Structure 1
Amino acid sequence: MSQALRAVIIDDETNAREALSNLIRIVSPEVVICGEARNADAGTELIRRERPNLIFLDIQMPGKSGFDLLSGFEKVDFGVIFTTAYQEYAIRAFRFSAIDYLLKPIDPDELQTAIEKYRERVGSVNPEQLRILQEQLDPARTPRLVERKRNDNQRIALPTAEGIHFVQMTEIIQCESLGSYTKFHLVKGPAIVVSRLLKEYEEILDHYYFFCVHQSNIINLEHIKRYVKGDGGQVWMSDNTEIEVSRRRKDEFLALLSDFYVNSGKLK
């Protein structure tokens, strides 16, 4: 039998707290709910008093947010699973930061999976993950769908069996599909293999200067050395690898490449 986990729920909506509490009792009876709170201040007191292993934390609450609550702790030595009603940016933001989340209304299977993932990891949330998540959830910093953001000064969290790797976007040369895994080829150091589909990273990187030139490869436009014309063509990357460009994606790729050179000031 699994060892009991002590958990608290922090959410300003009474119905949401009750629904989550009931679901937890059904799908993970080994999780003991040792308290609930309706705002950040009450949640902080509850955490300090009960010292839970895991907290279910709403992001948007009146007054102080879930981020404000966490910033009040010198060290976040407990697990965090965010609960949120965000839709437009949520999935991309949480995947970008590699932080566990549950979208409301909460699905029982997703809840069980999130708890199991916490048990496998048994660790606290890294401050860098929180910073990345806040940046990605900030509408003021999120471009409209027709815009792209520069890769400069942006980091992405890559979860592996060994832990979370924080990688500068400019250091990624390409992402390669390995079936159910994605391999990140970097400027320095060994490649990083993540247990996620390439398709997920195509969606995550959609607002940056990355492009899926083929069903097996996403490339960083900053690392293109040369484009060779052809049916679809080929690109030579900064690490001297040659990657085919799909014929059906050629026009979109060349348009984005032109946009990149204009906006980066590299157009000659």
Structure 2
Amino acid sequence: MKKKLVAKPLSYFLVEQLADQFAMPDLTLPFWGCRKKMPMHQIVRLEGEGNYTLFHFVDGSQLMVSLTLKKMESRLSPKFFARPHKKNIINLLYLEAIHPEHQQLSVSLVNGHRVEVSRRKASRFIKQVKGFQQELQLFDVAPTAAMAG
């Protein structure tokens, strides 16, 4: 597991391009008695807190909604979003690195967050990351060309 799976994080410009190419939809969220559309590609991570989900966006903002993480998971694109742990869902577009340390995997995201990967979900998560990176290469998005910018 010493091999580094993530070459370089994607730049914001590249994320925008990929969102267009893959036709990533907006996500409609309940917000203070109304509904608000949020671009799915701007979500870095979702964090479950009981019956609530805290969204972390690429601009640093956060939004708490009164829906469970399980309910939110069903609304997200499985091509882009992975659930490495029961309390977190991450957007693979913002994956910075995978850290295998002392039989415990964790990932770091471009916003500086670090999320543990549960042992039970580790092999499935790694397969999902590899599949995602292969898909990116089909779209001429070689990880080396996807330098942060």
Does TM-score exceed 0.5, indicating one fold?
yes
Q: 1:167 aligns with which of 38, 57, 75?
A: 38
AA in 2 matched with 1:210:
F
Matches within 5 A, 1:154-233: 154-161=25-32, 163-188=34-59, 190-205=61-76, 207-230=78-101, 231-233=103-105
The CA deviation at 1:188 is: 1.8
Q: What stretches of structure 1 of length at least 5 have no aligned partner? A: 1-149
Which residue identity does 1:176 align to in structure 2?
Answer: E
User: Per-residue displacement from partner, 1:55-114 (whole Å, max 9, x unpaired)?
Assistant: xxxxxxxxxxxxxxxxxxxxxxxxxxxxxxxxxxxxxxxxxxxxxxxxxxxxxxxxxxxx
Q: Partners in 1 of 2:81 and 2:32 — Cα distance?
A: 25
Q: Are 2:133 and 1:261 aligned? A: yes
Q: Indicate the structure with greater strand content.
A: 2
1:148-193 residue CA offsets vs partner (Å, 9 max, x unmatched): xx76542111111153221111100000011110011001252111
% identical equivalent positions: 28
Over 3 Å counting, the alpha-carbon distance change for 1:206 and 1:168 in structure 2 is closer
8 A contact 1:151–1:208 mirrored in 2: no
- What SS does the aligned partner of 2:124 have? helix
Contact 1:151–1:209, Cα closer than 8 Å, also in 2: no
Structure 1 stretches of 4+ with a deviation exceeding 4 A read none
Match of 2:109 in 1: 237
Structure 2: runs of 5 or more not aligned: 1-20, 145-149
Cα deviation 1:210-233 (Å, max 9, x = unaligned)? 011111000001101111013241
Cα distance in 2 between the residues matched to 1:233 and 1:259 = 18
**Largest Rg, 1 or 2:** 1
Q: Which amino acid aligns with 1:180?
A: N
- 1:114-158 Cα deviation digits (max 9, x unpaired): xxxxxxxxxxxxxxxxxxxxxxxxxxxxxxxxxxxx765421111
> Which residue is equivalent to 1:29?
none
- Whole-angstrom CA distance in 1 between matches of 2:93 and 2:77: 15
CA 1:164–1:249 in 2, change beyond 3 Å: closer, same or farther?
same
Mapping of 1:46-65 within 5 angstroms? none
The root-mean-square deviation of aligned C-alpha atoms, in Å, is 1.9
TM-score for both structures, normalised by structure 2: 0.72
- Taking CA–CA contacts closer than 8 Å with sequence separation of 6 or more, which of the two structures ends up with the larger relative contact order? 2
* Change in CA separation of 1:224 and 1:267 when aligned onto 2, cut-off 3 Å: same
TM-score (norm: length of structure 1):
0.42
Task: Give per-residue Cα distances to partners, 1:5-34, cap 9 Å, x unaligned.
Answer: xxxxxxxxxxxxxxxxxxxxxxxxxxxxxx
